[in-house]
Amino acid sequence: MEGPLSFSANCRICEHAECVEACPVAAMWRDDTTGLVRVEDKRCIGCWMCIMACPQGSITNRQDRDEGLRVADKCDLCAGRDSGPACVEACPNNALLYEDRDESAKDLRTMKGSMHVFIESDDSANQD
Amino acid sequence: MKSKFVSIGYSAGAIGMVEAIRKVDKKSKILALTKENFTAYGRPAIVDYAMGKIDDDGIAYKGKDYSRMRGVDTLLGKEAVKINPVEHTVKTSDGMTIEYEKLLLNIGGRPISPPIPGKELKGVMYFFNIEDARQMRRMVLENGAKRAVVIGGGLIGLKATEALSHLGVSVSIVELAPAILSRGLDPVGSGLMTKKLCEFGVNIYTGDEVVEILGDKKVKSVRLKSGIVIETDMVFISIGVYPDTKLAEECGLKVSKGIEVDRNMKTSAKDIYAAGDAAKGYNFVTKENMVIAIWPVARKMGYFAGLSMMGIECEYDGSIPMNSLYFDDLYTISFGETNPRDPSSYEILERFYDSRTYRKIFIKDGLIAGAVFVGDISRSGIVKGMIYEKIPVASFMDKLLQKDFSFINAPKKYRDLIYTNPFIDLEAV
């Protein structure tokens, strides 16, 4: 396709999220149940290690000196918004979709360098 | 005492190990012992802790809850003094014996203590762990210390300065090299940081060194080689850190300026692994093993150690030096080569966007070898990612210095590589 291209939901919520790995206080954290990687504002110390780590440049710094706010910020798929991600709702051409998919993990491409290597877990060990 | 997995040290390396193990194995016992009297915490956050911006809960990794959440038994304030690799045991200073099946050495480093006369005086400190941060606060808030000399203008010196300055202390930095932060930043970045520090009233003495710390029981002043005498209440020694390999050496592990590990984090002894600031991990740019003493690298090494400890052979692909250095609102991010000895063998792209926003990128053989971002650090990670994935830059080199350079300027093939990595629901894994 030629012409302008728009990116949305640019955080890919990587399986091995380098931002989570880089965060020294676990403010950037993956929720074990939803799998979503989010920043916990209250914990974030604004050290920008996540910005350094993210290979997509998906993390920005949100700050307000007067409010003493200085935290990392990223797409969280509009968590808590009843009608889902705002970008999907706003897109007039339905170019953006928000859906649950059962991605077959075995098709994952192995990325050298960033540790995006899929590891199969032992399901029997997880059943308590 | 007995545990399947044991870590000596409970920091980024141990956390990486725990994350890897608990992804697969929710049941086996994991034990972490640390000589510090505090659970796993974000060491880089001691600056925020010293400033009083965060408390014990804020500095603890995942808020003190982490060990319970991941089912890690901890022994705090316990120092390991002997490892027996044959019997698979660790002895602690108080005579306890711990049996392990797999052992991680996440021992870390120790601050270098230079032979400066007077360093035993009260008020001479380091800025290395949470206890040091507490001591800094006590000295300022309880003992009324108002002046500090920071010996060494590297990363730790900068962090100590930031905390002190925030606490209202007047700081003087003494740096042997001609400029501060000369290892992490390029001369331009270092110059901008120097300017920022001066705005905050920090005095910087470069090309000079402290030859004597003077005082009577308590620090009163320091004398520099140039003859200058600076009166002070505190001295922070931050000239560097060395890998703490004593324990590893004593039990016969192969050590050479760091614990030697292979690409699976195995040391020279069976069932002993190492990660973090004491271990020599692979640097994929220089293609040699070296200590890269930063949190993300330690955690990544720990992760691979954890996999390896479970028998999952997954080769560590390596890391490169990188850092996020900042003072107040001047942010910098740098990685890879930032100060090459042979600049002529690099293609160097650099641009000032305004008086405090700057970017420099080093290219060698068509690949990015390093970069420095000052002021505007957003999207710097994209450039780091391109180093990791060895992306040829010839086709979009003219875009690298665009202020709004973003992922969209990267070749489609590269975007696809990252974008085909789908969202994974951990429950489905």
pLDDT digits (tens, 9 = 90+) for B321-365: 999 999 999 999 999 999 888 999 999 999 999 999 999 999 999
Instruction: Write the CA distances from B401 to A69, B351, B360, B361, B404, integer angstroms.
Output: 29, 7, 8, 8, 8
pLDDT digits (tens, 9 = 90+) for B8-20: 999 999 999 999 9
Mean pLDDT of chain A: 76
Contact A30 B322 (CB under 8 A): no
Q: Is residue A3 part of a domain?
A: yes
By Cβ distance, the residue of B58, B324, B418 closest to A49 is B324
Residue B428: band (very low, low, confident or very high) from pLDDT cuts 50, 70, 90: very low
Interface A-B, measured as beta-carbon pairs within 8 A, has a size of 183
Question: Residue A124: inside a domain, yes or no?
Answer: no
Q: How many domains does chain A have?
A: 1
Q: How many CB atoms lie within 10 A of CB B144?
A: 8
Domain span at A60: 1-119
- pLDDT above 90 as % of chain B: 86
Q: How many CB atoms lie within 10 A of CB B160?
A: 31
Q: Give the pLDDT mean for A5-15.
A: 71
Mean pLDDT of B393-401: 91
Residue A94: predicted pLDDT = 83
pLDDT value at residue A110: 41
Q: With respect to residue A125, please indicate whether it lies within any of the assigned structural domains.
A: no
Round to the nearest angstrom and report the end-to-end CA distance of chain B.
34
More confidently predicted of B381 and B419: B381
Is A88 within the bounds of a domain?
A: yes
Q: How far apart are the first and last CA of chain A?
A: 50
Instruction: Please indicate whether, in this complex, the C-beta atoms of A57 and B406 are within 8 angstroms of each other.
Output: yes
Any domain includes A126: no
B296:A51 CB<8 A:
no
**pLDDT surpassing 60 at residue A1:** no
Q: Write down the pLDDT at residue B83.
A: 98
CATH number of the domain where residue A105 is located: 3.30.70.20
For residue A80, give how far its alpha carbon lies from the nearest alpha carbon of chain B (Å). Answer: 18
Question: What's the pLDDT score for residue B255?
Answer: 97
* Closest alpha carbon within chain A to B410: A56
State whether residue B45 sits within 8 Å of chain A by CB: yes
Whether A119 and B312 lie within 8 Å, measured CB to CB: yes
**Closest residue to B25, CB basis, from A47, A51, A125:** A125
Least-confidence region, from A70-74, B270-274, B313-317, B373-377: B313-317
Interface test with B, best of A6, A10, A23, A107 (most B CBs within 10 A): A23
Mean pLDDT of B247-263: 97
Work out the pLDDT band at A79, boundaries 50, 70, 90: confident
B362 touches chain A (CB under 8 A): no
Q: Rounded to a whole number, what is the distance in Å from the CA of B79 to chain A's nearest CA?
A: 23
Query: How far is the CA of B274 from the CAs of A18, B17, B31, B174, B347, in angstroms?
Result: 21, 10, 15, 34, 37
Q: Which of A36, A127, A122, A33 is nearest to B69 (CA)?
A: A33
CB contacts, 8 Å: A66 with chain B: none
The pLDDT value recorded for residue B418 is 66
Q: Which of A24, A113, A120 sits opposite B43 (nearest CB)?
A: A24
B218 touching chain A per CB within 8 A: no
Would A4 be classed as within a structural domain? yes
Placement of tokens 């703490």 in the chain: B244
Contacts of A62 in chain B (CB under 8 A): none
Tell me the CA distances in angstroms from B410 to B136, B336, B415, one per residue in order.
46, 19, 7
State how far the Cα of B395 lies from the Cα of B303, in Å rounded to an integer: 35
Closest C-alpha to B43, from B54, B33, B32: B54
Interface pTM, i.e. ipTM: 0.93
Tens digits of residue pLDDT in B379-391? 999 999 899 888 8
Cβ(B266)–Cβ(B103) below 8 Å: no
| Average pLDDT of chain B to the nearest whole number | 93
A101-110, A116-125, B129-138, B330-339: the lowest-pLDDT one: A116-125
Contact A10 B407 (CB under 8 A): yes
Query: What is the pLDDT at residue A8?
Result: 59
Separation between Cα atoms, residue B420 and residue B3, nearest integer Å: 40
**What is the predicted pLDDT for the residue at B422?**
37
Q: How is residue B179 annotated by DSSP?
A: S
Q: How far does B397 lie from chain A, in Å, by closest CA? A: 17
- Beta bridge partners of residue B230, listed in sequence order: B222
Per-residue pLDDT of B199-236, as tens digits, reads 999 999 999 999 999 999 999 999 999 999 999 999 99
Could you give the CA distance from residue B429 to residue B419 in angstroms, rounded to a whole number? 19
Q: Average pLDDT in the B408-424 region?
A: 64
The distance of Cα B296 from the centroid of its chain, to the nearest Å, equals: 8
Residue-level pLDDT at B290: 96
Whether B324 sits inside 8 A of A60 (CB atoms) is no
Higher pLDDT residue, A120 or A99? Answer: A99
pLDDT over threshold 70, residue B132 = yes
Kindly state the tokens that stand for B201. Answer: 């009233």
- Quick check: A99 pLDDT over 50? yes
Tell me which residue in A13, A34, A57 faces B381 most closely, judged by beta carbons.
A57
Alpha helices of B88-212 — where are they, by DSSP H? 130-137, 155-166, 187-199
- The chain B residue lying nearest A72, using CA atoms, is B378
Say whether residue B331 is in contact with chain A using an 8 A CB cutoff: yes
Q: Which residues contact B216 (CB under 8 A, 6 or more apart)?
A: none
pLDDT score at B406: 85
Percent of chain A past pLDDT 90, that is, above it, reads 31
Instruction: With CA atoms as reference, report the closest residue to B412 among A1, A67, A54, A104.
Output: A1
Closest Cα in chain B, distance from residue A96 (Å): 14
Q: Contact A35/B427, CB-based, under 8 Å? A: yes
- By C-alpha distance, the chain A residue nearest B61 is A25
Return the residue of A nearest to B159 by Cα.
Answer: A47
- For an interface test with B, the pick among A7, A33, A49, A107 (most B C-beta atoms closer than 10 Å) comes out as A49
pLDDT of B370 over the 60 cut? yes
Instruction: Give the pLDDT confidence score for residue B65 in this predicted structure.
Output: 86
| B44·A49 Cβ contact <8 A | yes
Chain B nearest CA to A74, separation (Å) = 12
Name chain A contacts of B307, Cβ cutoff 8 Å: 119
Residue B420 has pLDDT above 50, yes or no: yes
pLDDT digits (tens, 9 = 90+) for B145-180: 999 999 999 999 999 999 999 999 999 999 999 999
Kindly report the nearest CA distance between residue A78 and chain B, in angstroms.
16
Q: Please state which of the ranges A67-81, B264-278, B291-305, B407-421 shows the lowest mean pLDDT.
A: B407-421
Each residue's pLDDT tens digit, A16-51: 789 999 999 999 999 888 888 999 999 999 999 999
* pLDDT-based confidence at residue A4 (cuts at 50, 70, 90): low
| Surface of B (257-316) touching A: CB under 8 A | 284, 295-296, 299-300, 303, 307, 312, 314
